[in-house]
Structure 1
Amino acid sequence: MQRTNNTEVTVFILLQLWDSPDGQIVFFISFVLIYVLTLTGNLIIIIICRVEKTLCTPMYFFLSHLAALEIGYISVTIPKMLHNSVSGVNSISFVSCLTQLYFFGSLGSTECFLLAIMAYDRYLAVCKPLHYHTLMTSRLCNCLVGCCWSCGFISTMSSILFISTLHFCGPNQIQHFFCDISPLLKLSCTDVHHTETLIFLLASVILVGSCLITLLSYFRILSTVLGISSKAGRGRTISTFASHLTVVAIYYSTMIFVYVRPTTANASSFNKVLSVLYTVLTPFLNPFIYTLRNKEVQGALRKLNHWVILPVQTSPLFS
């Protein structure tokens, strides 16, 4: 049902994750630390994957792009939230809201596609090792990554165009700490049925489709790993597999719960807390789960540390 108020809303008000002043300080410090650690961890991955020749493999090529995605993904929401917390000004313009929503949706969609590609890459490496290097060529890797980024940003554009045509007549308080789809659509005073349907279909295809490919690849890997004769090798692989699957499960389960729903009637304040898992927690954990625990990466870090320290030790200033 349309609202009769014709006053057009051009500025929205975002909420904070915390309500009490005491909790605000704790949350602010925690999120600053998480944000800095996330940027540092992902930047390290990008640097060592580009510099270290032993890491010039398809797996680390995909991981470097995942790291770049995580930097953009967390930077779309957290800096604005922290700025609002410090300044006390929680307003955001309609254009800025759509811009944040576009980049958030685009980077999220790209990450879904990339996670599916990474899982398929590991399936080929574990289950078809003799054909792996023939199948996963550098040209194919570049094409797959290009498709992930292109499809992620193109698929989100249609949703943003639909939302940009809606009218907002008040209230203007978004029940979230960033501009998300469901809380924003709830504020529209025009019919959002077609927009909801489009977003539901896109989210279903992107999230559920990439999730199925990812899980199927991991379960095929698990069945192959269980056939390994070496108990030590099987134990290490299963440990790595379990940590990867845990992060993937958290990311997809929360995203599907929030976005693969046909109406905005289900939108609630609980989503505000739940969204922290895929906007903050997974970008923070991914560098440690996927990369920094690997022996190859640890060796590259030690080598990089040696390159940085050695010139300082041999400098005339220290002689």
Structure 2
Amino acid sequence: MAADGETAEHVPVMLERCVETLAPAAEDGGADGAVFVDATLGLGGHSEALLTRLPGIRLIGLDRDPQALERSRARLARFGDRFEAVHAVYDELPDVLDRLGVASIRGILFDLGVSSLQLDMRERGFAYAYDAPLDMRMDQTAPLTAREVVNTYPERELARILREYGEERFAQRVAAAIVAARAKDPLETTAPLAELVREAIPAATRRTGGHPAKRAFQALRIEVNAELAVLERAIPAAVDALEVGGRIAVLAYHSLEDRLVKRVLAAGAASTAPVGLPVAPPGTEPVLRLLTRGAEEPSEAEVAANPRAASAKFRAAQRVRRGSVATRLGGAGHARRRMRKG
């Protein structure tokens, strides 16, 4: 996966760090056949490295994008029955594991955001750098598109999405401009929308911080794919699926994702015992051990070689005890799927 807007040859982000972090879970797992999950399969770069360097593992790859699954199946066919690709969103992990008869896993990787495949296929409408239909669906069988969002959502809801998901300071101005423009003609493609956003943002602000439409396009993409709601369910479910000794590794590309991941891992790594007790009651001990100090970033050399890695934030943890992280979060990890138009 990657940040928005640039084009580059597909290169897996922080590949060595991901593999070295997850590898001990396979080595500590004992017998061959330890199950790993790539929750965001994409073009299969991380999965290929894990299957190559950890020859005893079996890997399940999830992706909501049928085109990505087709390419990854071809790329990883040489691994035979050690690899299985599944069309699923990553918050569906418990159902996938149940369907495959997998009771628990040794390792799981999340590489969040939009994939290289999705960015580079212009007709998917993820990038503001060229004109394309307003789509932005990671799964093109899903009903909601960016076109529907910008042309039918009320101004107040558009402003909320831009403010919360894009962290856009001028969300209200941009939303008002969208509503005014669509009253004349529906917005159909990315270039007019990007220009509209640019004009709605004050000139002084446009001089810094990259393309003015970057935040708006991020917000629309998150809304179309319900990315944060899905992630909020998926990370606790992934931790709860890990065996003791198993590991989770996550690459996030913007602050909203990273804060959510941090909150879940921190909850798992903390004691739930009341402060001041001389001995922690059974069941209140941490269930995770953090493997990173804060969020790690790619090296300058990697960013120079692969600009899409620039905004990556890497966090990882190891399961040290049985117990539910979702329960510690008050059930947030199992929140009801938000209803969307469709």
- Higher RCO, Cα 8 Å, sep 6+: 1
Structure number with the higher strand fraction is: 2
Structure number with the higher helix fraction is: 1
